[in-house]
A and B are shown apart, each in its own frame.
Chain A
Amino acid sequence: MNIFAYEIKSSLKSALIWAIALVAVLAALMLGAYPSYSDAKDQILSLLSNYPPEFLAAFGMKSNTLFSYGGFYSFAFAYLGLMGAIMASSVSISVFSREKRFKCTDFLLTKPVSRPFVFFAKFFAVLLVILAVSAVYIAAGIIFYKSAADDSVTLQRYFIALTGFFFNQLFFVGLGVFYATFAKKVRSVSAAANAIGFAAFITSALAALLEDAKLEYLAPPKYFEPLTVIETGSFDTGLVAAAALIFVLCVGLSFYRYCKSDTVAV
């Protein structure tokens, strides 16, 4: 409980800032940008026609879906998901590399707690933080849906699409834990989290650009893409399975390493 509470307390401020930023961007896009977009459909379509289709695909702009509420959310998710990914990576790297960064692993591991206990205390603290932020995000998403959505997507499907934000974050928690546990040194949490987030964003853009379905398995933001839910009612089973497998592998290997490796003397 001691470690769990400490990690929650240490992550609280940044989680609050992230939650506010996410809701603000969600509001700006779904309450501010979307109505303007749909009102100016013809002008925007003519503007977009000047760009190569590959470019538009890479940035998630599909002209056939962009002007529906669900389709626009799917476009917005490319950026909101990136923010969520950076946040989740940042929180998990911060929590799991805390002793490494402050060179105080000896302090924590000479307390009467087992290493599995420490690992799970940290893991559940990260989980609670992203769960809370995702809950705020989903609640805001529903509120905005009720005030601005058209009838292109049902609330039920939209809700499932919104939950993708949490699962996307959960996936990046796995990557963050893996990085923090296996990296010899973690100099900057934000640099590492940004690198993970943007690398994922680039692979996702590449997958869209090349329109290669196999590449989507290497593009984390595609695993919980809202458009699939909005069109079919559920996430792509294959991609969800890939995400689950990578997550379990990352967390499992990190757990093994955390519990079984020698701690390095300072």
Chain B
Amino acid sequence: MSFVIETKDLTKYYGKSRGIIDVNLEVGEGEIFGFIGPNGAGKSTTIRTLLGLIYKSSGSAKVFGLDCEKDKVRILEDVGYLPSEVFYYEKMRAIDLLKYSAGFYKKDCSAKIRELSEALELDLNKKIEEMSLGNKKKVGIVQGLLHSPSLIILDEPTSGLDPLMQKTFFSLIEEERKRGATVLFSSHILGEVQRICDRVAIIKEGRIIKTQKISELRENSYKKVSVITQGAAPAEINLPGVSAYQAGDNHLSFMYKGDINALVSAIGGYSLSNIDITDPSLEEIFLHYYEV
């Protein structure tokens, strides 16, 4: 199988500081591949190496089978990138920036610019400096997708977007995938990755600690359960898969991994005022599941 992204023992040090160590990634064609880890884990370093923005210390990084450093220009002809924080030439109007961006590709991007900006409700005549963070992000999305790239690299793309726009954004990414694009989606929000990705790599302290299918992640993932009882909270719950159990006067919380029906049955035995079953934060997952 040929991979769109392939890294072997990719390592990057900033002087003596650790960036990433022996990162091995294989992203197949047409895949939406999640890349998840807490801040400072090495997600952006990996992405920046793939884009030729920084130079690796050792190992190899290939995109479309081409070397990320030697063949950077050929690779970038077919890559769209949306960084976590978007900054552009402040004095430019959005339309001028997008035309400038489109000028780097050997194709007419005007129809795509119009289509994307309409979907995102973006005012193209506004100057970048007059835009809110969310609108700047929309400009970023359009400039990343305007040339219909084969590989889309998204580094924490949803920050600054309201929930409604996040929904629109995810449907745009789905559209791109249907068109045949491969997506590398970096995030520290598990729910986002679970929402659209096929597979996920989890990175911690510069090393990939697990790569798995989202379906496997869901099966193995913990839920965070918080309950408020009408009477005194039980001192313990006799249910396999419960951990980090904490109980107060009339409230209790715990992490749960296992059959969700068994959980509902067990809790259903008590008289409840409220119940929250949520995805734990990434930090909590690392604490309870990926503690390595």
Contact = CB atoms under 8 A, between A and B. Distances in A.
A187 interface: no
A106 B80 CA distance: 12
Contacts of A110: 51-53, 76, 79, 81
A103 B90 CA distance: 10
A102 B90 contact: yes
B88 A113 contact: no
Chain A contact residues (Cβ within 8 angstroms of B): what range?
Answer: 20 to 34
A106 B89 contact: no
A262 interface: yes
Interface residues of B, number: 28
Nearest to B143: A107
A114 B72 contact: yes
Contact of A107 (B14, B88, B105): B88
A111 interface: yes
A98 B77 CA distance: 23
Given A112-B74, A113-B73, A266-B83, A106 B53 contact: yes
A6 interface: yes
A114 B48 CA distance: 15
A146 interface: no
Contacts of B103: 2
Contacts of B55: 260, 262
A104 interface: yes
Interface in B32-74: 44, 48, 51-55, 72-74
Nearest to B129: A102
B53 A111 contact: no
B100 A6 contact: yes
Interface of A: 2, 6, 98, 102-107, 109-114, 260, 262-263, 265-266
7 contacts: A98-B89, A103-B87, A104-B88, A106-B83, A262-B48, A262-B54, A262-B55
Smallest CB-CB A-B distances: 6 pairs: A103-B87, A262-B54, A111-B104, A112-B76, A112-B77, A2-B103
